[in-house]
Chain A
């Protein structure tokens, strides 16, 4: 059984149809990259998979581990092992990172029938994962993402992923806004989590992240559909010729040429 099976998925926001029939299958152990021009629906796909109610699914089906994903509340999806690394992690003043992550981990453990972690075990776990992400431990006592730099926010996402150990990780433009050192650090964190049990969907605009997180498959998303699928060489092709080489318009490219 595939880990994730998306069939003819259509989704709208307001009266605009953003996803216009997505088909995608991800098996455990695979890393799929989804590339595409701005506005192609990449982030919408990521958010729909995580359960954001801003988007309405009008047609199609998503099976996660054989179960109907679209029937589940966002927290159930997370408890079942789905993790979305946000493109724009949300700042939550007044809730400490520590408290937040402990509540999240314990909710997931409870769902799995495990006991809550005691304070000591939790601390040891987060110390280990923070070291992996080279994160300053004082960030744990600060409010969630509040006053974090762009790089700190992205690292915080991957750190959370490392603590929560999802079965399906969806990374939404985790590379955006990162300098090359931060990018390598984040990619190393992601690579450390690759395993035969875990699937990953890496959404990105640029090839450079895929130099660090080498995907098994690359899909090009445009106008709400997957236009082309291939191996990692497809990303290189895009890097050389741009989206225009595939006959696709990309605003960022157009601006770059002007």
Chain B
């Protein structure tokens, strides 16, 4: 038996014990599980997983607990989601998406009719509470009609050692305006793997902010597919300390002409933490007049923290503007001295400057309640670090 099939063996038990579902869903689950068994969990030999070793997840053998998390949004009848489900976040190439799909039972499903404007942000909270040794596979589906507008906030939280394997699909119609936020505040010992796939219509306006603060081992795969004239903002902030590891893989697909994408990922690393940023930008042959900008900035506060950052540009059109840049730096000595010279203690000065580094991502968050709570969380986090 290979290592991969050994590990799928544990999931197989859980899979066979699952309550049966409607035939179409059962078929989907089985196809996904089949694919999962073929793929096996990735290893560091896979190019996309070079810096992130998921062996601890494979070893831990987390039994599946479908109702592990308290979900703030009532799960919809899975039947309603049928037309859209698993059509965007595809399980053929990703074992984690396959696993999530194999255990599909409840879906947080939000549908915004054509032209509707929902002003209040919609919060979807997956709150795991104090748990140990379990896994859950949250599934979120957001379908926004043409010219409709909405704001979605996904939150993941909990404490203890558990495994969250989330998949979110967003489908935005032509001219839709969608602001998406994901805040990951999982427990310090938790594993968190999440896939977001957003498929955007013509002239749609989309933004996503991926805020990653908790978890022991975290991986985000973010895919955004643009149509003609689509405008996408893909931002993220990761703050890691201790032995935390966070890996953000983003993939922006300019499939059609006149699309614009702006990507800004910022990271703050302390202790022996490590982070990965891999930003793929694909500009297809048709996608003339694409305007794409990618930036990854890292603030490294200790000697032992490690960041691997890599842009991955694949450009097949010839009339485009694509820029990318990455920086890795420390706190600015002159700024520190300036603050100290005004009486501010060195540690407080450090935490102020660290906070300031994150500030421009926080400022871009349009939901005030979320921005305020994040400011508090970050402020406390950096203040703790400095004690």
Docked complex: A65-113 residues within 8 A CB-CB of B: 73-75, 77-79, 83-84, 86, 89-90, 92-95, 99-101, 103-105, 107-108, 111
Nearest-neighbor residue (CB-CB) of A161 within chain B: B342
Q: Let me know if B301 is at the binding interface, CB within 8 A.
A: no
A95 and B338 in contact, given A103-B344, A104-B344 (Cβ under 8 angstroms): no
Q: Let me know if A59 is at the binding interface, CB within 8 A.
A: no
> How many residues of A are in contact with the other chain, CB < 8 A?
33
User: Is the beta-carbon distance between A89 and B343 smaller than 8 angstroms?
Assistant: no
User: Is the beta-carbon distance between B337 and A52 smaller than 8 angstroms?
Assistant: yes
Query: What's the dominant secondary structure at chain B's contact region?
Result: helix
Residues of B contacting A101 in the complex (Cβ-Cβ under 8 angstroms): 342
Given the complex of chains A and B, what is the CA–CA distance between A45 and B229 in angstroms? Answer: 58
Given the complex of chains A and B, what is the CA–CA distance between A105 and B355 in angstroms? Answer: 20
User: Is the beta-carbon distance between A73 and B360 smaller than 8 angstroms?
Assistant: no
Docked complex: B153-167 residues within 8 A CB-CB of A: none
CB-based A-B contact count at 8 angstroms: 85
Nearest-neighbor residue (CB-CB) of A52 within chain B: B337
Min CB distance B361 to A, Å, is: 10
Min CB distance B235 to A, Å, is: 15
User: Is the beta-carbon distance between A86 and B338 smaller than 8 angstroms?
Assistant: yes
Residues of A contacting B358 in the complex (Cβ-Cβ under 8 angstroms): 94
User: Is the beta-carbon distance between B346 and A73 smaller than 8 angstroms?
Assistant: yes
User: Is the beta-carbon distance between A92 and B341 smaller than 8 angstroms?
Assistant: no
Given the complex of chains A and B, what is the CA–CA distance between A212 and B143 in angstroms? Answer: 69
User: Is the beta-carbon distance between B356 and A93 smaller than 8 angstroms?
Assistant: yes
Q: Let me know if B357 is at the binding interface, CB within 8 A.
A: yes
Docked complex: A121-173 residues within 8 A CB-CB of B: 143-144, 160, 164
Residues of A contacting B334 in the complex (Cβ-Cβ under 8 angstroms): 90
User: Is the beta-carbon distance between A95 and B356 smaller than 8 angstroms?
Assistant: yes
Residues of A contacting B337 in the complex (Cβ-Cβ under 8 angstroms): 50-53, 74, 90
A-facing mask of B320-338, CB < 8 A → 1, else 0? 0000000000001111011
> How many residues of B are in contact with the other chain, CB < 8 A?
24
User: Is the beta-carbon distance between A93 and B359 smaller than 8 angstroms?
Assistant: yes
Nearest-neighbor residue (CB-CB) of B359 within chain A: A94
Docked complex: B336-382 residues within 8 A CB-CB of A: 337-346, 348-349, 352-353, 355-360
User: Is the beta-carbon distance between A78 and B342 smaller than 8 angstroms?
Assistant: yes
User: Is the beta-carbon distance between B343 and A95 smaller than 8 angstroms?
Assistant: no
Given the complex of chains A and B, what is the CA–CA distance between A74 and B355 in angstroms? Answer: 21
User: Is the beta-carbon distance between B353 and A74 smaller than 8 angstroms?
Assistant: no
A103 and B352 in contact, given A73-B346, A90-B334, A94-B357 (Cβ under 8 angstroms): yes
User: Is the beta-carbon distance between A92 and B338 smaller than 8 angstroms?
Assistant: yes
A111 contacts which of B333, B343, B352 (Cβ < 8 Å)?
Answer: B343
Min CB distance B10 to A, Å, is: 46
Interface residues of A (CB under 8 A from B): 50-54, 73-75, 77-79, 83-84, 86, 89-90, 92-95, 99-101, 103-105, 107-108, 111, 143-144, 160, 164
19 contacts between A and B (CB under 8 A): A50-B341, A51-B340, A52-B337, A54-B333, A75-B343, A90-B335, A90-B338, A93-B359, A94-B357, A94-B359, A95-B356, A95-B359, A100-B342, A101-B342, A103-B344, A103-B348, A104-B343, A104-B344, A108-B343
Residues of A contacting B353 in the complex (Cβ-Cβ under 8 angstroms): 92, 94-95
A-facing mask of B221-243, CB < 8 A → 1, else 0? 00000000000000000000000
Given the complex of chains A and B, what is the CA–CA distance between A75 and B345 in angstroms? Answer: 6
Residues of B contacting A104 in the complex (Cβ-Cβ under 8 angstroms): 339, 342-344
Min CB distance B345 to A, Å, is: 5
A94 contacts which of B339, B343, B349, B355 (Cβ < 8 Å)?
Answer: B355
User: Is the beta-carbon distance between B360 and A94 smaller than 8 angstroms?
Assistant: yes
Given the complex of chains A and B, what is the CA–CA distance between A94 and B362 in angstroms? Answer: 10
Nearest-neighbor residue (CB-CB) of B340 within chain A: A74
